[in-house]
Chain A
Amino acid sequence: MADAVVVVTLLLVAGSATTAVVVRDPVRQALVLAVLGVVLAVLFTAVQAPDVALSQLAVGGALTPLLLLLAVRKVKRRKGRER
């Protein structure tokens, strides 16, 4: 039964990683990366690594999306003024 959880979360991680690469818009990619962070944390719990899961939750949940969106806002604000 424990293997079933590992297999399901592995497939979820593979799917969300592929989606994160296929989505080309940075804003939408930040959303998919947030979901990838959560799914990775669940996979790490399934592989009995709670410390790494906690670390991934803290980083992938709020920190990485915030950094990505602030970078997008800064780059978009510069480009917006020239048009």
Chain B
Amino acid sequence: MNPRTRLALVVVAGTGLAVLLVAACLRLPRFGGDSHPYGDRAVHTSLARHTANTVASVNFDQRAFDTLGEMTILFAAVVGCVVLLRQTRDEHRARPEPADVTPPVRRYALIVLPIALATGLYVIAHGQLSPGGGFQGGVVAATSLHLLYLGADYRALERVRPVGLYEVGDAVSAAAYVVTGLAGLIGGTAFLANTLLPYGTFNTLSSGGTVPLLNAAIGMEVACAVVVLLARFLDQAVEIVEESGK
């Protein structure tokens, strides 16, 4: 299968697929149409349970079981990366010399790091009120930690971020999500059902029953997962070196 025939096959198949897709697009309802049956019901249920951010209500209340599946995919991807990027026998760790970063960049990194971390936690905490949630806040918080590597050097990051702790945090938060679901089961209703806690007053931090709890669990899980992921990638790219010039 030389590239020539492969390109021809791609062009032919692509054209056929394009024709079918365009034909399908022409029969879809108008962009901006008014018929959104699922949306209206989701908004109604979210308001009934005093959750201001309907998207968070859909994610953590009406479709909490699907989010459990999403979290498991995320967890499996991280475990896969950890296994794949481990240090094999014929590799050793070479300590990287610190890169000399000019003072303004270093100062900027050290100033913005706490602000970004606070913003990440704010996005997680306000997940069920304003735009945001566990998924977004977790990534923002985890990325902000790596400003230390970008602004200073890798050793500074390693001192601050013990990877083992984050791996345990990843597992604990994944378990917390499942335990919160089981609590619903123990409480006599269904798994991950949002009938345990009172729904609280609308548009306040404690509103929405179990939505804030599941939101926090997902936020911690995504943050720990991204930190572990980047730790493995940074180890491979910066520290681990082949033993022999294979």
State the A residues within 8 Å of B (CB).
3, 50-51, 53-55, 57-59, 61-63, 66-67, 70-71, 73-74, 77-78, 81-82
- A51 pairs with B132, CB closer than 8 A: yes
A-B contact count (CB 8 A): 52
* Interface secondary structure of B, over-half rule: helix
- B226 pairs with A54, CB closer than 8 A: no
Cβ-defined partner of A51 (8 Å) among B55, B139, B142, B143: B55
Which residue of A74, A78, A81 has the most chain B CB atoms within 10 A of its CB atom?
A74
State the B residues within 8 Å of A (CB).
32, 53, 55-56, 123, 131-133, 135-136, 139-140, 142-143, 146, 226, 229-230, 233-234, 236-237, 242, 245
* Interface secondary structure of A, over-half rule: helix
CA distance A67 to B55 in the complex (A): 28
List of B residues within 8 angstroms of A74 by Cβ: 236-237
30 A-B residue pairings within 8 Å (CB atoms):
A50-B131, A51-B53, A51-B55, A51-B56, A51-B131, A51-B132, A51-B133, A54-B123, A54-B132, A55-B135, A55-B139, A57-B136, A58-B136, A61-B143, A62-B143, A63-B143, A63-B226, A66-B143, A66-B230, A67-B229, A67-B233, A70-B233, A70-B236, A70-B237, A73-B237, A74-B236, A78-B242, A81-B242, A81-B245, A82-B245
Cβ-defined partner of B131 (8 Å) among A3, A54, A63: A54
Cβ-defined partner of A71 (8 Å) among B55, B139, B226, B233: B233
CA distance A58 to B141 in the complex (A): 9
